Structure 1
Amino acid sequence: MDSILVRGNGALEGQIAIAGAKNACLALMPATLLSEEPLTLINAPRLSDIRTMSQLLQSLGAEVTSLADGTVLAMSSHALTSHTADYDIVRKMRASILVLGPMLARDGQAVVSLPGGCAIGARPVDLHLKALDAMGAELDLRDGYVHAKAPNGLKGGSVKFDFASVGATENAVMAASLAKGTTVLENAAREPEIVDLVKCLRAMGAQIEGEGTSRIEIQGVDRLHGATHTVVTDRIELGTYMLAPAICGGEVELLGGRIGLVGAFCEKLDAAGVSVTETETGLRVARKNGRISAVDVTTEPYPGFPTDLQAQMMALLCTAEGTSVLEETIFENRFMHAPELMRMGARIDVHGGHATVTGVDRLKGAPVMATDLRASVSLILAGLAAEGETMVSRVYHLDRGYEHVVAKLRGVGADIERISET
């Protein structure tokens, strides 16, 4: 099992190219199931989660070809051979549930295992099922699988989500694209990944309005055709690497970044003493001057502060001047990185969904263990600013969401290497 060794090495300088969004791509790929014609995605990230989704689609009979060093995905679902998404693949990744809506809408049947993924809370699929039920699906949960049928096709319906779930909104939008009649989604998720999915579906012939707002209206069509679509920039990778010069000092330009993708995050960086400016090619990030200031953070659905940047922000605040309070409102069990940061000398007190972080002058390198995807990169960020060596183990989590992290950080001056155990 690989580890990553980080040595605190001072300020960072240079450029980091930001990849296409993992979470957007994982929703865009199942959209191929909605049409018999080819769907091509450009700017796809090269990640293990993308490979897992490719395997899942291929197990259903879809063709998935990786081109241009993995950044282009050419897909075709002209002849599906199965409507069952098996546990052995689905257990690796929660986004696998996104094949449910498209298969059900296209062929009137789907059997999908309840999904797995990072251990950061229950994250049930009840909202996905609620939406499909409103469109007339017959649903049965047994033996760890969702058995779904719509013998006469899905029909337009009205759905009001109890929570603005990104995945449930994505599943519902795709399913409703081929449903008979009009479907209205209330309290829909507003994330850029939703907007990106709708942009792709519209290019395939879907009739959708309201993306980016809490109310989305979909007029079902008889069929969708093929399309070519460019995946939006990954706002979580963007925010993660924005924190690198904030933690270490120096100045880094994030190529492909836009403030509009990370507005609430930028507001907190500004309050903490970090400058973010737009350039012709991305975002330039640097400390304003001196030590980072403490700030309070509450995670919220978009356009609020992203839960997927909470762990990384905690790493920054570990050496801030003063005391910060981080409130996690999206997922339970998402402070598992706190004990690992404490091994590095951080002062963190966790009570339920709140973490109080009192800044220290300097973190110290230590052996630490990644517990989930975002926690793994938070430990790497902390190691960049720590005195001595930090060895981060169980970095297989990292490969699910960050491509070439060692090369990207080395490119701006970080002392970091991946150590493979033989």
Structure 2
Amino acid sequence: MAKMIIHGGTRLSGSVTIGGAKNSTVAIIPAAILADTPVTLDSVPQIKDVYNLMDMLQDMNVPSQFHDDVLQIDPTNIQSVPLPHGKVTSLRASYYFMGSLLGRFGKAVVGFPGGDDIGPRPIDQHIKGFKALGAEVHQDGSSITIEAPNGLHGARIFLDMISVGATINIILAAVRAQGTTIIENVAREPEIIDLATFLNNMGAQIRGVGTQTIRINGVPSLRAQNAHTIIPDRIEAGTYLALAAATGDGILVKNIIAEHLDAFLAKLQEMGVNLDVREDSIFVYPNNQLVGVKVKTSPYPGFATDLQQPLTPLMLLAQGQSTIIDTIYPKRTRHIPELIKMGANIKVVDGQILVDHTDQLTGAHVTAGEIRGGVSLMLAGLMAQGTTEIEQAENIMRGYDCIITKLQNLKADVSYVGPEVF
């Protein structure tokens, strides 16, 4: 197990550049196996999930090379093999191989996905979509076999609930199916638009992304022409904006698409955070007087569930009470007992997180149970007096590009101890 050690209480300053979006990257890498040519991606974040996906590609005889932020993938000699166990359980996004293998070969054998323990995340809407496209689905112990013996065909699919994962998986399966697929009540996240842009640039015919209805005309082949640039990570951006507001003496956050953060920026400004929103960056001024706010997570363009935990430490500085209601993952509260160890005045009551003003946080030994909860503890450690040691810090590395280097460039006293991150 790895450990992050933070000597907190120091005001930070400087600039930080946001990397490519994790949630785009972990969908586009599985999507790359749908291509009949090599694929090049740039602005790929240096995160553990990328290397885990590269290992899975290797199992399918798909070589890949990752240098700086450029990832090259060659699926021209891909082999259809089961992915039942092992690496699949290391991250949630492995389930996108269900859709891409089904779309490429008409068959996929994939283990139940792993990832962060933040409450139930069923895949019933994924399965509903695959069946509508003509697939048969069988569960065998800890793996799922999805097969379309007569090929995939277009269909009209209405998702019972808005699901990012199901929306992406159905797109991946339908993009090379025969006929037209219409998916209704879909997720609208920027990462889905990024995926569709990647596929369309290879010859796919996907329309309506960003709206509630997506229309896909299946094509027989996909061929990459140019490198695809991953969009900036809005969750990483929100994390550094919260950090800047909590501990900064003036920090410039670069490579941002502000429109992707509208709901989050509105809450920062409601709290009293002084922001200068520029064309592709945001400058965060030092802040003194902050006020409590109410946050309710919801599907995009609402307040992202992945940003409620990074915002929580900043709420501790506000006068009055702040409230968080996570409608997406109500059980996303494992960071609360850890923050209490540091002196946070915070509790969970009737499914709501109640955050009251805390005069001082103190360094402590805490555990990062998952990515966003872990980064919440990291922000608290930077705010706290004394030393904070975060166990299982490898979880933070799964979602944040070059985080130790970026924090050190902001003059944070932070180090990482343990096995190699990647």
Do the aligned residues in 2 keep the contact of 1:105 with 1:153 (CA within 8 Å)?
Answer: no
Relative distance call for 1:137 and 1:352 in structure 2 (3 A) is farther
Residue equivalent to 1:10: 10
Do the aligned residues in 2 keep the contact of 1:406 with 1:418 (CA within 8 Å)?
Answer: yes
Do the aligned residues in 2 keep the contact of 1:24 with 1:197 (CA within 8 Å)?
Answer: yes
Given residue 272 of structure 2, which amino acid in structure 1 is its aligned partner?
G
Residue equivalent to 2:415: 417
Residue equivalent to 1:145: 143
* Displacement after TM superposition at 1:9 (Å): 3.3
Q: TM-score, normalised by structure 1?
A: 0.96
Identity %: 40
Residue equivalent to 2:124: 126
1:14-69 alpha-carbon deviations (Å, 9 max, x no partner)? 110111011101100111221221111111011110001111121112121213x2
Residue equivalent to 1:92: 90
Residue of 165, 168, 171 corresponding to 1:167: 165
The range that moved more, 196-205 or 127-136, is 127-136
Supply the distance in 2 between the matched residues of 1:352 and 1:147 (Cα, whole angstroms): 39
Do the aligned residues in 1 keep the contact of 2:46 with 2:401 (CA within 8 Å)?
Answer: yes
Given residue 29 of structure 2, which amino acid in structure 1 is its aligned partner?
M
Do the aligned residues in 1 keep the contact of 2:80 with 2:105 (CA within 8 Å)?
Answer: no
Supply the distance in 2 between the matched residues of 1:55 and 1:131 (Cα, whole angstroms): 27
Supply the distance in 1 between the matched residues of 2:376 and 2:348 (Cα, whole angstroms): 17
* Displacement after TM superposition at 1:280 (Å): 4.8
Supply the distance in 2 between the matched residues of 1:220 and 1:352 (Cα, whole angstroms): 47
Do the aligned residues in 2 keep the contact of 1:9 with 1:415 (CA within 8 Å)?
Answer: no
Supply the distance in 2 between the matched residues of 1:260 and 1:385 (Cα, whole angstroms): 28
Do the aligned residues in 1 keep the contact of 2:257 with 2:280 (CA within 8 Å)?
Answer: no
Do the aligned residues in 1 keep the contact of 2:47 with 2:402 (CA within 8 Å)?
Answer: no
Relative distance call for 1:294 and 1:172 in structure 2 (3 A) is same
Supply the distance in 1 between the matched residues of 2:184 and 2:53 (Cα, whole angstroms): 28
Residue equivalent to 2:248: 249
Matches within 5 A, 1:56-205: 56-67=56-67, 69=68, 71-205=69-203
Residue equivalent to 1:377: 375
Residue of 211, 215, 218 corresponding to 1:217: 215
Residue equivalent to 1:236: 235
Do the aligned residues in 1 keep the contact of 2:258 with 2:280 (CA within 8 Å)?
Answer: no
* Displacement after TM superposition at 1:313 (Å): 0.9
Do the aligned residues in 1 keep the contact of 2:130 with 2:170 (CA within 8 Å)?
Answer: yes
Residue equivalent to 2:281: 282
- Gapped regions of structure 2 (runs ≥ 5): none
Q: Secondary structure at the match of 1:185?
A: strand
Supply the distance in 1 between the matched residues of 2:273 and 2:15 (Cα, whole angstroms): 17
Q: Secondary structure at the match of 2:90?
A: coil
Residue equivalent to 1:23: 23
Supply the distance in 2 between the matched residues of 1:97 and 1:349 (Cα, whole angstroms): 34
Residue equivalent to 1:48: 48
Residue of 396, 399, 415 corresponding to 1:398: 396
Q: TM-score, normalised by structure 2?
A: 0.96
Supply the distance in 2 between the matched residues of 1:361 and 1:72 (Cα, whole angstroms): 44
Q: Where in structure 1 do 4 or more consecutive aligned residues deviate above 4 Å?
A: none
* Displacement after TM superposition at 1:286 (Å): 2.4
Relative distance call for 1:281 and 1:108 in structure 2 (3 A) is closer
Aligned-CA RMSD value: 1.5
Do the aligned residues in 1 keep the contact of 2:404 with 2:414 (CA within 8 Å)?
Answer: yes
Q: Secondary structure at the match of 1:130?
A: helix
Relative distance call for 1:61 and 1:420 in structure 2 (3 A) is closer
* Displacement after TM superposition at 1:421 (Å): 7.9
- Gapped regions of structure 1 (runs ≥ 5): none
Residue equivalent to 1:364: 362
Q: Secondary structure at the match of 1:5?
A: strand
Given residue 259 of structure 2, which amino acid in structure 1 is its aligned partner?
G
Do the aligned residues in 1 keep the contact of 2:310 with 2:376 (CA within 8 Å)?
Answer: yes
